[in-house]
Chains A and B, each alone.
Chain A
Amino acid sequence: MKNRYLIISLVTLIIFSFALSACAPADPEPPVVEDVEEVEEVADPAECENYVLVPKNLGNPYFDTGNVGAQEAAGELGITVLYQGSATADASEQITLLNSLIAQQVCGLAISANDEDALVPTGQAAMEAGIAVVTWDSAIAPAGRDLHINQAELEGIGRVQIEMASRLAGPDGGEIAILSATSTAPNQNAWIEVMEQVLTEPEYANLELVEIVYGDDDDTKSYNEAQALFTKYPDLKVIIAPTTVGIAASARAVTDADLIGQVFVTGLGTPNQMREYVKNGSAPEFALWNPADLAYLSVYAMHALATGEIQASAGETFTAGRLGEYTVEDDPDLGLNVLLGAPFVYDADNIDDFDW
């Protein structure tokens, strides 16, 4: 009686475990071995072909858009870029994943780090194993990677918002207002500072910044602040909202108040959230970096490192396909980095190319 139970359990488990580790042992096996020898033979880094793009987590549209750009670069370079991430945006899961990628002796890793510091030992292990390590979107501390691909630079982000406001206000200029996140938000404050400087340039002399208000990154509060702005300033032309919550709330407030064409909203937003307002004209253009370009550049940088085209030192240059030439820069905080460039402006013409 007991024996029978045992035999059945054993058989079931054996079947199960076979299923588990090798669904189709027949087809992939011999090629796997060949493949491996190929990888092991790669002493010449120029022949390196297997790269991995690691997002913070899988199933995130922002990173999935990045993967589109990465695959484009992979096609141009004739390399394989695998898109592998952890299920959740968690540092320990990401480390486990990275360890298995390091074990496979891939040529390069482009990582969006879940923890700046916790990934340093893993990044170092990868570099010791001869793997090119770049970070994108979210950096590992300089000790744990070769290069960071930096999506946003203070100056560029601040300037592009004034440029957009100037275009929207028209040749005569007019009153503009800023609707920010919290009054203590470091990013927003730094951008506002840049914007105020840019406004002093003669080109933008016809723009008058009337007030800076704070929506605290709360949808309702931002909505109310936007409403208060165009009640208080009937001649207001543009609201700049350098925050994703604020820009959507302001555009909704403009739409609801039937002021489309009179007051324009611009700032920093994401395509899916802003699509409606770009199309109805309340927020004809807004900026943010393009994750596809960011990952595209990351793949080129990782490839340049792995093939020895660059050695990760400041001042080196490499060409990244359609994006053109880039220079490795050294920054006291960021370490070695490559700057993607001016933010990407989304408008009615291109917004349907994006889904994130």
Chain B
Amino acid sequence: MTVETINKNQQENIISDRQARKSFFSIFLKWEWLLFVLILLVIFINTRLSPFFLNAINLSRTSSDFMEIGLMMLPMVLIIVTGNIDLSVASNMGMSASLMGLMHNMGINIWLAALAGLTLGTLGGVLNGYLVAYVKLPSLVVTLGTFAFFRGIAFGFLGDQAARNYPSQFTFIGQGRVFDTLIPFSVVLFIALALIFGLVLHRTIIGRQLYAIGNNEPAAKYSGVPVEKIKFILFIVSGFISALAGLVLAARFGSTRPDNGTGLELAVITAAVLGGLDINGGKGSMYGATLALVLIGLLRFGMGLLNIQSQVQSMVIGLLLIVSILVPHIGQQIRFLKQVKFRWQSILMTVGLLVVFTAFFIFFFWSRAPIIAQF
């Protein structure tokens, strides 16, 4: 057998692996339908509760609030599919934007400064990628380190200073709207990139290789998937996109401070996981993640219109996340139930879910009581 035929066989192996998982994957297609139904429900209920919800200007303004998260989510989806994670995205974004801000303060042309920011972000990705792919350190630990490291550099660039007075051509990236419509430029940017990332994940061999790595890395490696190279590139792309998100944020704020975007990495991961991605890799889709982002955005906006406290808002998102993981789990338990008759775990699980629901109801009423009283 020649090398080529071996490779061909290995390719077939991967593909046949995908075939075997097809039935399982189809369930996750349904998860996206559930998200879709949820989005419709949220829109329906919010429209009835607040007349300001279906207002084009309001929705346009709100959507741009979530685009930095959305942008960083795109490479994050690919990274999570391979069973890795990148915790440094928000810090990288702060670092790149701070370098750009520093150069702008020094009087350098804003586009040159932006280019430098993008380059620095990409380099940050190179560092992550090298340590994860070639030194073979766990991505969680590496990016936890760079999470602090990049943020430190950001403070090194700007300290307690701010960069401001960006030219309007630049702030257009974050504040502008396309062709006099109400669609923010950043949304168009996000949709374009989401299409590209989605196509890569679902329509190319590289995409399949990502799933292969996530399902069984050694097997993928021995099947000829260039695991190291793919991981390396993924983290570089993540660094670049984080820097891009940093520029969008700086443009939206019209200014940069080194603490910009602190904590956004968790919002990014939340959206991805709510979208049906398995944090252990191998499962999930770009559609799901994007729908989850829309769902979170609409939920937050709707709850904001009802003046629900932001702590409670975070709680709702958190509970939604837990439920999104619990539901498939319970589904599996029920399937077992049919085969094995009885399982006490499933009862525990149901009780647990009931407790979560009850707690949720109580908190919800508690938080809304003053608002209801006002009416």
Spell out A's residues near B (CB within 8 Å). 1-2, 4-6, 8-10, 12-25, 27-29, 31-33, 35-36, 40, 58-59, 80, 82, 84-88, 90-93, 95-97, 99-105, 115-118, 120-121, 125, 141
Query: Which of B103-111, B142-150, B231-239, B359-367 lines the interface with chain A?
Result: B359-367
Cβ–Cβ contact A115 & B255, under 8 A: yes
Q: A12-B327, A28-B49, A95-B65 are in contact. Are A4 and B334 (CB under 8 A)?
A: yes
Cβ–Cβ contact A102 & B61, under 8 A: yes
Cβ–Cβ contact A22 & B365, under 8 A: no
Cβ–Cβ contact B262 & A117, under 8 A: no
9 pairs of residues in contact across A and B, judged by CB atoms under 8 Å: A5-B335, A6-B27, A13-B34, A16-B323, A27-B372, A32-B375, A92-B261, A99-B301, A121-B253
Cβ–Cβ contact B61 & A1, under 8 A: no
Cβ–Cβ contact A23 & B361, under 8 A: yes
- CB-CB < 8 A to B305: which residues of A? 100, 103-104
- CB-CB < 8 A to B51: which residues of A? 32-33, 36, 40
Cβ–Cβ contact A9 & B61, under 8 A: no
- CB-CB < 8 A to A120: which residues of B? 254-255
Q: Contact check: which of B48, B68, B252, B316 meets A121 at CB < 8 Å?
A: B252
Decide yes or no whether B10 CB sits under 8 A from chain A: no
Instruction: Write the B75-110 contact mask toward A (1 if CB under 8 angstroms, else 0).
Output: 000000000000000000000000000000000000
Q: A8-B331, A99-B65 are in contact. Are A104 and B48 (CB under 8 A)?
A: no
Q: A22-B45, A32-B49, A116-B162 are in contact. Are A9 and B361 (CB under 8 A)?
A: no
Cβ–Cβ contact A103 & B162, under 8 A: no
Cβ–Cβ contact B304 & A88, under 8 A: no
Cβ–Cβ contact B375 & A96, under 8 A: no
Instruction: Write the B267-298 contact mask toward A (1 if CB under 8 angstroms, else 0).
Output: 00000000000000000000000000000000
Return B6 CB to nearest CB of chain A, in Å: 37
Interface band, chain B: 35 or more
Known: A116-B162, A117-B257, A121-B175. 16 other contacts (CB 8 A): A2-B27, A2-B335, A4-B338, A13-B327, A18-B41, A20-B316, A21-B46, A32-B50, A36-B51, A86-B310, A87-B311, A90-B263, A100-B62, A103-B62, A103-B305, A121-B252
Interface of B: prevailing SS: helix
Bound-complex Cα distance A222 to B30 (A): 64
- CB-CB < 8 A to B253: which residues of A? 91, 95, 115, 117-118, 121
Q: Contact check: which of B260, B320, B332 meets A91 at CB < 8 Å?
A: B260
Cβ–Cβ contact A21 & B357, under 8 A: no
Bound-complex Cα distance A31 to B254 (A): 39
In order of increasing CB-CB distance, the 8 nearest A-B pairs are A100-B304, A117-B255, A118-B253, A21-B45, A5-B331, A103-B58, A31-B375, A87-B310
Decide yes or no whether B177 CB sits under 8 A from chain A: no
Return A135 CB to nearest CB of chain B, in Å: 16
Instruction: Write the B169-187 contact mask toward A (1 if CB under 8 angstroms, else 0).
Output: 0010001000000000000
- CB-CB < 8 A to A9: which residues of B? 34, 327-328, 330-331
Cβ–Cβ contact A118 & B257, under 8 A: yes
Return A5 CB to nearest CB of chain B, in Å: 4
Cβ–Cβ contact B307 & A84, under 8 A: yes
Bound-complex Cα distance A20 to B361 (A): 8
Cβ–Cβ contact B364 & A23, under 8 A: yes
Spell out B's residues near A (CB within 8 Å). 27, 30, 34, 37-38, 41-42, 45-46, 48-52, 55, 58, 61-62, 65, 68, 162, 164, 171, 175, 249, 252-255, 257, 260-264, 299-302, 304-305, 307, 309-311, 313-314, 316, 320, 323, 327-328, 330-332, 334-335, 338, 353, 357, 360-361, 364-365, 368, 371-372, 374-375
Bound-complex Cα distance A102 to B60 (A): 13
Cβ–Cβ contact B334 & A5, under 8 A: yes
Bound-complex Cα distance A103 to B330 (A): 39
Q: Contact check: which of A10, A29, A100, A101 meets B37 at CB < 8 Å?
A: A10
Cβ–Cβ contact B327 & A17, under 8 A: no
Cβ–Cβ contact B364 & A99, under 8 A: no
- CB-CB < 8 A to A21: which residues of B? 41-42, 45-46, 49, 299, 302
A35 nearest in chain B by CB position: B375
Cβ–Cβ contact A17 & B338, under 8 A: no
Return B33 CB to nearest CB of chain A, in Å: 9
Bound-complex Cα distance A82 to B45 (A): 23
Bound-complex Cα distance A2 to B26 (A): 11
Cβ–Cβ contact A1 & B323, under 8 A: no
Bound-complex Cα distance A90 to B94 (A): 14
Return A202 CB to nearest CB of chain B, in Å: 41
A39 nearest in chain B by CB position: B51
Cβ–Cβ contact B45 & A19, under 8 A: no
Cβ–Cβ contact B65 & A22, under 8 A: no
Cβ–Cβ contact A28 & B46, under 8 A: no
Cβ–Cβ contact B304 & A97, under 8 A: yes
B174 nearest in chain A by CB position: A121
Return A47 CB to nearest CB of chain B, in Å: 17
- CB-CB < 8 A to A22: which residues of B? 45, 48-49
Cβ–Cβ contact A99 & B61, under 8 A: yes
Q: Contact check: which of A28, A59, A90, A96 meets B300 at CB < 8 Å?
A: A96
